Structures are given as structure tokens and as C-alpha cells.
A and B are shown apart, each in its own frame.
Chain A
Amino acid sequence: MAQASRRPAALEPWQDANARPFLRIQNITKTFGNTYAVDDVSCDVYQGEFFSLLGGSGCGKSTLLRILAGLETPNSGRILIDGVDVTNMPPYERPVNMMFQSYALFPHMTVEQNIAFGLKQDRMPKAQVAERVDAMLELVKMRELRARRPDQLSGGQRQRVALARSLAKQPKLLLLDEPLGALDKKLREHTQFELMTIQERVGTTFITVTHDQEEAMTMSTRVAVMDAGRIVQVNTPANLYEFPANRFVAEFIGSVNIIEGRVIEQLDGEVRIQADGFENSFVMDHLDPLPLGTSVAVAIRPEKLSVHDERPVERPNWVQGKVVDIAYLGDVSIYHLLTPLGRTVRVQITHEQRYERPHYRWEDEVFVSWDSEDGVLLLG
């Protein structure tokens, strides 16, 4: 989540109104029968980005990726890569390569032959092919296994070969369909960082499809959250997490407490909200004035809440509750509180000390509080 701060503003071309997008997706629609797999999607991706399409299964992310690869033809809309309209270009002519979810390594070829396949299609001179294959094997650290066949490799090794094969032609755009989906958890974490390193080294624009929000958050410069064939929000991982545009994004990324209510008072840059199922009212930041009675939802991340033994009188927002569930996860503990009116609030406490861990137990009556700026006010 430190992603946004690590990259200086100059590396955020989407902030720059004059920057020219490298990939333009314009009003792409794709239907299968009567269902809209991709529904009027538009999006710009800039040179060198690691862009993720994130969403649940059936949200249209893979179809969109296949449209970019040329493996599906959209019903309407245009795709521009580096200013060139590729909408009707067959896959074998596009300056785009794809890493398939199943890796799709040719079973009758060795690792080397797999990597060289694309280069041979371009009639590259033999010596040059050999040189490029060597460089790719070096990049993914697979030199020793160059003569193996895919069925003699482990899942992680196959993933590397697939990556090397798709990068060998030095595409302008690399598409990755669930690149880490088939790996186990430990290997996946390791490979995430490796993939980022490789992307930074080759400088290719990466577009990846994933259903794993953690994976998308870790690797991406920006993430497009998709639902039911549409892009719901595009932003940096940190902004998606802290400033979700709507309830779907807030709930899809990380965990969140959603408190529904109505506006009962307009303050200066803040609004007072009467929440359903809570005794007291809450004050939240909101710049634009909202008419009284507007129904809103307050979204607060569990780690933004602080826990107190006594009622925190100096804090603007607080909730009383009884501890009903405790989950110890090592680095953090998660508590579920039950309010007197039957609502559940999720709180996360970080363990900063080895000895002084929170001492709350089941059935303890505690208070949680937050400031008016700690949560997001979502409309509708």
C-alpha cells in the first residue's frame, strides 16, 4: 500500500493532462448471446504502466484482455495501441503478446523452442534468435532447464517459461491472464515481486487480469475494478483503498465497515449522520453540501478504528460494543463487536509490542472511535 508514495508524481502520467495514453480502449462492447460480457468500457493506459483489471469471475475482465489480444472481436468500440487502430487486426499482426492462464506451453517443444517460437514466426536470423532466447532464459533464471520439455517442469518453472516466451518478441504491450493463479501462496508472493522487477527492467506496459485484490494491489501502478462488464473505478491501489468511489469498490478491496444512515445536519465541510441501528449520530467530512435526509453510507476500514475501555468523550464518533469474536493473525488481531442494537463492527489492532498485546476478551464491553476524516462517505 506504500505504492503511491514510492512513485513520484512524474511517474504518474494519468495525473498529467498532456500525457499521451499508450493504449486507448474506447467504448468497447462485447456480447455473448444476450449477455454483455464487456459493456461500453473506455480506459486509457500509459507507457510503462503495470495496469490490473480486477474483478470477480464473470465480470468481463478476461474477455476485455482477449479483445486486446485480438482473440475476440468486440461488437463495437475501438482499441488504439500507440496511436494505431488495432480493432480489426488479427492477433498474429498485433504488437501485443499474451501470457495465458494455463501458460499454453507447446508440449512437443523444449523450453528453448517454446521461447524461440514467436521469433521464428518473424523470420529473425538464427544467430539473433539464439541471442534473444539466451537473454530471456537469463531474465527468468531458467538457463539450466533450457532443454527440458514443459511436462518436466514445475508450475513455477512453467510460469517463467511462459513469461519468457511472451516477452521474447519485445511486445509493446504484454497481457497477463491470471499470471500467478496456478501457483501456491508462498511462491505467488515471491513471484509477484519478481514480476515487478522484470517489468521495471524491460519497461514494457503490462496489463494483467486477476481476481486476487492483494495481487493487484501489490503489483499495479493502477487498478481498474470491474463489475458486470463495466469498469467501476480506475485508480492507484492506495487511492482505491482509501477513496473508494462506491460501495462495490469499498467492499471488494480489503474489508470495511459499512454504516448506512441519513444526513441530519449540514456543518462546515462536514455532515452529521444518523445511522440506522446506532444510538448516537456520526460526523463525517464531506466538502459538497448534501440536502438533509440524503441516504448515505459511511465506509470505515477496520484498522482506522481505535479501541478504548472508557467512553471516548473527546472523539467525534464512537460506538459501544461487546467483543463476540477474536481472530489472532500474528501481525494483527481482528475483533468483532456487537452493538447494543445488534450491529456488528469489525476492528483491527496491530501488534506493535510483543508483551503489551491488547487484553480484550470475549464479552468485554469496549468502545471504538474514529475521526470525521477516517472514513469515506458514499452516496447511494
Chain B
Amino acid sequence: MRQRPFALYTAMAFGYAFLYLPILSLIVYSFNESRLVTVWAGFSTRWYGELFRNESLLDAAMNSFVVATTAATFSVTLGTLAGLALSRLGRFRGRTMLSIMTSAPLVMPEVMLGLSSLLLFVSMQQLIGWPDGRGITTITIAHVTLCTSYVTIIVQSRLAQLDESLEEAAMDLGARPWKVFFLVTLPVIAPALIAGWLLAFTLSLDDLVIASFVSGPDSTTLPIEVYSKVRLGLTPEVNALATLIIVFVTAVITLVGWIVHRSKPSRT
């Protein structure tokens, strides 16, 4: 076998180090005995114990998971519909408009998205009395707005690659349009939907800016909680929590990757 050049391996090592050293140090310090985050004082799982006694942090984590799951599910539904409209309905009035409008939140600064959402919710509450104050619901709605754009683009690009004659063949064989969608289109684009869901979930879980605009007193999400803790002084509990989240996310992505790989060995 040909000898790989040394420089190539070095570059790869630097690349991985750049991406994963911060995460690795976070995991390592989550097992730190010391109260100070930056000083190593021996191995301990003490902070994992502390974490499970810290209710505000656990509540925030729970909120974040609920918001992320709901937002991801809704944005996959909406994004799929928008993606279908854009790639399957041909030319219709307002197609260009829809195309631009769905991708606008991608390039819009999050601050603007957050502020405009807040203004909308406040005036809606004054006009129709809903939503009643800010909380989980408003964060979820704002996140759906953001995530739908990403899902739309993923679904649309998958549909563009999909051979349209697959759907025509299904119709030709006697399947009505809605059956064509559920029996052929949906199973074929399923990997894109899973990818879209995961991306939406991550975006929502990660979001601090929009959430800080539209959250209410009882609805702190994890990023808001962590951010406020940092200002008061960080404890290794946050490291422990982050480690658990990393383990969870890695497990989920590995599982999904395995399922997708097993059910669809080809890229057609």
C-alpha cells in the first residue's frame, strides 16, 4: 500500500483537535473534584450527583427537550409541505415569493427574528388574548419559524434529486395521489426528513437569542439557564450536564445513521 504522507496525517490531527479538543476538555473537567471549573483536583463523579439535585437546571433541560422535540416535529411537517409545493406543483402564482420567504429566516439575524416574534406575541395577546403571556408555547412557535426554513431546503433538495417518474409509476399502477405520497414519496425522502428533524432539534436546543426574547418567567430553556449561571460563576455541574447531552445526542445520531444505512443501502 502507498505510504500516506506525514503532512496529511498532521493536518487531519489538527483538524480533529480543532473541532473536538474543547468538547473533550469539557468531558474531562466534568469528572473534576474541584469546585473551580479550570483547576484539576482529581477524579470524581460528584458533580453528576449535584446535577441531579439541581432542580432549576434539570427543569431548564426538560423545557429545552420539550421545546426542541415539538418544534422539530412541527417544522418537519411544515417544511415538508413547503418543500413539496416548491418542487412538485410546477409554476404557480407566488412560487418565487414562497421560495424567497421560506429561506429568509436563514439569513435574517436571530436578534431580529427574536424581537419581531416578541412584538407579534405581545400585540396578539392584546388583540385576541392569545398567547397568554410568554412561555414554552411562544418559544416553540418562534423556533418553528426558524427551523421550518432549514427543513424546507433539505426536503426540497431531496425532492429535486428524486426521479419524478417514481411518483408517476405509482400513479400509473393505480395509486391515488395521496397514496402515492405515503407509499412512495414519503418512504424515499424519509432520510431527508430524519436529517431535517435532527437539524431542527439541534437548532432549537442550541438557541439562546430567540429564546431569551420570547421566554417567560417560568420557562427558562437550558441555554438561558447556563448563560445566566456563567454570569454568576460556573460550576462543574454544567460540564456534567453537557457531557450527558453529548452522550445522548451521539447515541441518537448513531442510531439514526444505523437505521438509515440499513434500510437504504443505495442513494437512489
Contacts and interface: CB of A to CB of B under 8 A. Distances in A.
Interface residues of A, number: 27
A102 B173 contact: no
Interface string B157-177: 000000101101111111110
A165 B173 CA distance: 9
Contact of A104 (B166, B176, B263, B266): B166
A118 interface: yes
Interface stretch (A13-21, A91-99, A297-305): A91-99
A290 to B, nearest CB: 50
Given A121-B174, A121-B175, A169-B174, A104 B268 contact: no
B165 A100 contact: yes
A69 B173 CA distance: 10
B49 interface: no
Q: How large is the interface on B (under 10, 10 to 19, 20 to 34, 35 or more residues)?
A: 20 to 34
Interface string B188-212: 1000000000000000000000000
A117 interface: yes
A150 B268 contact: yes
Contacts, number: 72
A107 B165 contact: no
B111 to A, nearest CB: 43
Contacts of B165: 100-102, 104
A380 B226 CA distance: 87
B175 to A, nearest CB: 5
Contact of A92 (B174, B183, B187, B264): B174
A97 B188 contact: no
Contact of B264 (A90, A98, A104, A108): A108
B266 A91 contact: no
A309 interface: no
Interface string A50-71: 0000000000000000000111
Contacts of A151: 265-266, 268
A149 interface: yes
B266 A117 contact: no
Nearest to B173: A118
Contacts of A97: 172-173
A316 B172 CA distance: 57
Contact of B268 (A71, A100, A107): A107
Interface string B219-242: 000000000000000000000000
A98 B168 CA distance: 9
A97 B171 CA distance: 10
B263 A108 contact: yes
Nearest to A121: B174
Contact of B170 (A93, A117, A150): A117
B60 to A, nearest CB: 40
9 contacts: A92-B173, A96-B172, A100-B168, A100-B169, A102-B165, A104-B165, A104-B169, A122-B174, A151-B268
Interface of B: 163, 165-166, 168-176, 179, 183-184, 187-188, 263-266, 268
